């Protein structure tokens, strides 16, 4: 570029709308201002070049598109536009053509050459408008943030104050000038009279560090990707004696990395400053004082001088204390521009709604926890992509998520099958909606952020088509998948699905386990958490068990036996009481096994809600139908509240006490486990917590607490006992529970036979995972156990009508009627699942 000395005068009309730090460069005199390749300019020399370029731009106010590398031409043209009162439009080179076509700039800097297209502007430019910056990623015509003269000056002044930038500092550019964070580094150092070293070298390039050391770099700025590169090149071991501060913004750095770099800074004598900002706030809005980084690594700190934060309630913010971050300050943009006509607008934004979700810590620091736009909706569930990334990433495994409603696309560094299974099971998503692929190198924009559209394309391209021969399962895996889909009502089941992940519970566990044994010969003890693919693969090693040596899962056998005893006792065929109380313990056992999984808290709660609905819906439907057709029960029975508000005297209204007790217990436990501290307590002490609840329940059993409601509080201890039994992984734990069982059941009913039956049933649950069951009986056990709830509900209306004919007929009819109703309900559930899936498929098309 041509050097003019002395500098030409800039028209007075323009200087009145100039940005002060760009207009007053000469006041820093002969201090070093810019190092650009072999050129070294003082502030006086930089001011001369800026003034000369301002003259070339001409009078009036023009829209000046500036695009290029981190070089002298881009910097000087940008400063000239600000100093002469023009409007600068900074864009990456890849977007320059599309943006120029959309906004028709009056002057264009491209390839180092300045082209002034017209003597007068073709646009109506608002007097306060100084800078336009793109806000989106790699789209051809991005939405622009309209930034004012005050925005630029105020933000630069606030950052200088926050970071304590000195006139002796030297910043080596690690980020492009068309990225607002990189531009902010330049603005702040020029405001203070410090030096800027221009380079396009990456921090992964040895040439960068040669330059940094040779020029005595004191300031380093980076986005999260920058710090990944620093780790690769051994930054921790570098000797950088003049380094004074390292700043981080442009995305969330993991707390572990924050702590590590804070410690590196402490040892190396430099400050590590986490910052937070957006283009709409002219770069930066918050900073974390270096002294707080190690103690509060998950926060972004406090507002910069002159700014303030508030948290606004939004639907996506479901956790206590979380809201959308709203920022106010003199650096908040005028508003957005989406077309040239918008350049005439004045201020349309006063408070910036950032789209980020955050909470305020007790120390007053802002902690970003997610982003509103980083949500996708799948199968009716809102999935927080940032949360998924944070939960699944770890040592040796990087996870990045993108997608759209109905589709979750995940890029991983390793083990895609395991990640996919974990996502499906933890978040209860249909497996067909989750695509996971290994991506060796994440695509990034010029600002270092992940290019989301490019990432989505890479994941799709890296995922083999489902019908590819190499991935097509053999007949057995597909038969098993179809079996899961049919019995669980989940047509979206895939070969990577598990029983628990598909929402299976105790009602479907028995039938599926027996059907699997018929198909495989034997099933492993942990089959309910094993992917279908792995079950099929392991079938080759399964030993075929002869029919007389077959075994069935203990809870299934107990449920089948207990419901038969309940019906037979009521019908007078024989008397063996205690079956309902064994069922209470079995319910606690299955609650722990199927509902207290390793999934996150919200997923657990959804699973508990589904489990509760599978009890409540058929119960209310059946009792409601009986009440509508007869006068046998009352309204309290229909809403399952007889146990709370009904007569304390035993009447026919108490027929459904078992269902009511189970519902009450499940509701209370869901409410408790919805509390994060209780959820964490259960995960940390999976055996101790139910033991503590068992102790609490015994207070009701021994009437230390007022009974209050018959048949409810006194049996909670049995549910807690079953829960503890499921969590008892060591022999001494089972032995201790057996002792408690033997000491507490006797005397409860005053009926030795009944108490012995309860002790024997629960002890069997505690010590034996399976019991012998010849193959001809397995199908009957499966049906009776699966249909036990329906049998219990319906037998009150069936056996009284047949007991006078013969008690055995009454029992058989009761069991058959309940089993038939269960079969119809199961088929209806499966059909509903198919219809829901078909609806989702149509909506995607």
Q: What is the pLDDT of residues 215-224, one digit of tens each?
A: 999 999 998 8
Is the preceding omega at residue 468 within 30 degrees of 0, hence cis? no
Average pLDDT for 521-539 = 67
What residues contact residue 164 under an 8 Å CB cut-off, 6+ apart? none
Q: Which residues are bridge partners to 195 per DSSP? A: 170
Average pLDDT for 381-393 = 79
pLDDT for 475 equals: 60
Q: Cβ(348)–Cβ(145) under 8 Å?
A: no
What residues contact residue 806 under an 8 Å CB cut-off, 6+ apart? none
DSSP state of 130: E
pLDDT for 470 equals: 31
pLDDT band at 402 (very low <50, low <70, confident <90, very high): confident
pLDDT for 604 equals: 79
pLDDT at residue 499 above 80?
A: no
What percent of the chain has a predicted confidence (pLDDT) above 70?
A: 85
DSSP string for 327-388: EESTTS-SEEESSGGGGG-----SSEEEEEEEEE-TTS-EEEEEETTSEEEETTEEEEHHHH
Q: What is the pLDDT of residues 349-385, one digit of tens each?
A: 999 999 888 999 999 999 988 777 777 767 545 677 8
Pairwise pLDDT comparison (139 vs 374), residue with the higher score: 374
pLDDT for 787 equals: 87
Out of 29-43, 286-300, 415-429, 453-467, pick the least confident.
453-467
| pLDDT mean across residues, the chain | 83
pLDDT band at 455 (very low <50, low <70, confident <90, very high): confident
Q: What is the pLDDT of residues 145-165, one digit of tens each?
A: 999 999 999 999 999 999 999
Out of 135-144, 383-392, 522-531, pick the least confident.
135-144
Q: Per CATH, which fold does 476-541 belong to? A: 1.10.1200
Average pLDDT for 489-511 = 68
Q: How far apart, in Å, are the Cα atoms of 446 and each of 108, 138, 225, 281?
A: 20, 9, 11, 19
Query: HSE-up of 499 (CA within 13 Å, CB side)?
Result: 27
pLDDT at residue 214 above 90?
A: yes
pLDDT at residue 487 above 60?
A: yes
Q: How would you class 96 by CB atoms within 10 Å of its CB: exposed for 0-12, middle for 13-18, buried for 19 or more?
A: buried
**What are the boundaries of each domain within the chain?**
374-460, 476-541, 554-775, 787-845
pLDDT at residue 417 above 50?
A: yes
Out of 503-512, 551-560, 620-629, pick the least confident.
503-512
pLDDT band at 347 (very low <50, low <70, confident <90, very high): very high
Out of 287-291, 384-388, 510-514, 676-680, pick the least confident.
510-514
What percent of the chain has a predicted confidence (pLDDT) above 90?
A: 38
Average pLDDT for 262-274 = 94
Out of 207-211, 402-406, 546-550, pick the least confident.
546-550
Give the separation between CA 763 and CA 728, rounded to whole angstroms: 12
374-460 classified as CATH 3.30.300.30 = yes
pLDDT band at 525 (very low <50, low <70, confident <90, very high): low
Smallest Cα–Cα separation from 330: which of 186, 180, 159, 163? 159
């Amino acid at each position: 570029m041509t050097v003019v000395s002395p500098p030409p005068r800039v028209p007075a009309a323009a200087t009145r709308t100039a940005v002060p730090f760009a207009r007053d460069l000469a006041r820093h005199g002969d201090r070093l201002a810019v190092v650009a390749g072999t050129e070294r300019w003082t502030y006086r020399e930089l001011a001369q070049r800026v003034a000369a370029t301002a003259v070339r731009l001409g009078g009036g106010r023009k829209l000046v598109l500036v695009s290029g590398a981190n070089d002298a031409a881009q910097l000087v043209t940008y400063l000239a536009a600000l100093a002469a009162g023009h409007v600068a439009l900074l864009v990456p080179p890849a977007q320059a053509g599309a943006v120029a076509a959309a906004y028709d700039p009056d002057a264009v800097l491209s390839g180092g050459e300045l082209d002034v297209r017209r003597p007068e502007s073709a646009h109506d430019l608002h007097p306060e408008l100084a800078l336009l910056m793109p806000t989106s990623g790699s789209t051809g015509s991005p939405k622009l943030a309209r930034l004012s003269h005050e925005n630029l000056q105020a933000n630069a002044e606030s950052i200088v104050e926050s970071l304590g930038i000195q006139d002796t500092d030297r910043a080596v550019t690690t980020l492009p000038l068309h990225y607002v964070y990189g531009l902010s580094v330049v603005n702040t150092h020029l405001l203070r009279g410090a030096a800027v070293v221009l380079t396009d070298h990456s921090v992964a390039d040895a040439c960068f560090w040669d330059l940094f050391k040779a020029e005595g770099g004191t300031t380093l700025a980076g986005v999260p990707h920058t710090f990944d590169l620093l780790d690769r090149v051994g930054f921790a071991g570098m000797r950088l004696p003049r380094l004074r501060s390292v700043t981080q913004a442009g995305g969330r750095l993991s707390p572990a990395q924050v702590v590590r770099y804070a410690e590196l800074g402490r040892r190396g004598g430099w400050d590590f400053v986490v910052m937070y900002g957006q283009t709409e706030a002219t770069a930066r809005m918050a900073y974390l004082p270096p002294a707080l980084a190690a103690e509060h690594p998950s926060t972004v700190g406090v507002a910069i001088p002159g700014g303030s934060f508030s948290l606004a309630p939004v639907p996506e913010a479901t956790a206590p204390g979380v809201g959308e971050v709203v920022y106010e300050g003199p650096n908040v943009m005028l508003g957005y521009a989406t077309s040239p006509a918008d350049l005439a607008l004045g201020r349309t934004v006063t408070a910036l709604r950032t789209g980020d979700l955050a909470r305020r810590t007790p120390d007053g620091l802002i902690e970003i926890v997610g982003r509103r736009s980083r949500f996708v909706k799948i199968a009716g569930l809102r999935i927080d992509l940032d949360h998924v990334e944070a939960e699944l990433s770890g040592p040796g495994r990087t996870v990045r998520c993108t997608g759209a409603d109905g589709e979750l696309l995940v890029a991983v560094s390793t083990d895609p099958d395991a990640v996919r299974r974990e996502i499906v099971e933890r978040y209860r998503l249909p497996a067909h909606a989750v695509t996971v692929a290994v991506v060796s190198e994440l695509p990034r924009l010029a600002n270092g952020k992940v290019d989301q559209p490019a990432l989505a394309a890479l994941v799709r391209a890296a995922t083999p088509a489902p019908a590819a021969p190499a991935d097509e399962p053999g007949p057995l895996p597909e038969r098993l998948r179809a079996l899961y889909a049919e019995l669980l009502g989940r047509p979206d089941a895939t070969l990577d699905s598990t029983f628990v992940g598909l929402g299976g519970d105790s009602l479907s566990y028995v039938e599926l386990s027996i059907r699997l044994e018929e198909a495989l010969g034997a099933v492993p003890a942990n089959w309910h958490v094993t992917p279908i693919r792995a079950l099929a693969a392991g079938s080759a090693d399964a030993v075929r068990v002869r029919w007389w040596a077959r075994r069935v899962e203990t809870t299934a056998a107990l449920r089948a036996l207990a419901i038969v005893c309940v019906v037979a006792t009521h019908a007078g065929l024989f008397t063996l009481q205690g079956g309902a109380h064994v069922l209470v313990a079995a319910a606690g056992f299955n609650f722990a096994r199927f509902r207290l999984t390793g999934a996150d808290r919200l997923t657990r709660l959804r699973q508990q809600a589904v489990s509760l609905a599978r009890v409540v819906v058929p119960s209310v439907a059946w009792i409601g139908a009986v009440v509508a057709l007869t006068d046998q029960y009352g309204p309290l029975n229909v809403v399952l509240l007889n146990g709370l508000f009904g007569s304390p005297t035993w009447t026919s209204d108490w027929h459904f006490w078992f269902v009511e007790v189970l519902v009450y217990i499940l509701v209370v436990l869901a409410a408790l486990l919805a509390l994060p501290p209780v959820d964490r307590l259960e995960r940390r002490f999976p055996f101790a917590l139910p033991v503590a609840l068992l102790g609490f329940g015994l207070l009701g059993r021994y009437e230390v607490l007022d009974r209050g409601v018959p048949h409810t509080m006194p049996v909670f201890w049995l549910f807690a006992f079953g829960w503890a039994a499921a969590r008892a992984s060591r022999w001494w734990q089972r032995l201790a529970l057996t002792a408690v069982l033997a000491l507490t059941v006797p005397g409860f009913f005053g009926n030795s036979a009944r108490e012995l039956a309860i002790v024997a049933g629960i002890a069997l649950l505690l010590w034996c995972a399976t019991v012998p069951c010849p193959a001809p009986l397995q199908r009957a056990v499966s049906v009776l156990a699966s249909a036990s709830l329906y049998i219990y509900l319906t037998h009150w209306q069936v056996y009284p009508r047949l007991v006078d004919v013969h008690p055995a007929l009454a029992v058989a009819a009761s069991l058959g009627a309940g089993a038939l109703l269960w079969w119809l309900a199961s088929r209806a559930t499966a059909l509903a699942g198919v219809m829901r899936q078909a609806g989702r498929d149509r909506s995607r098309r």
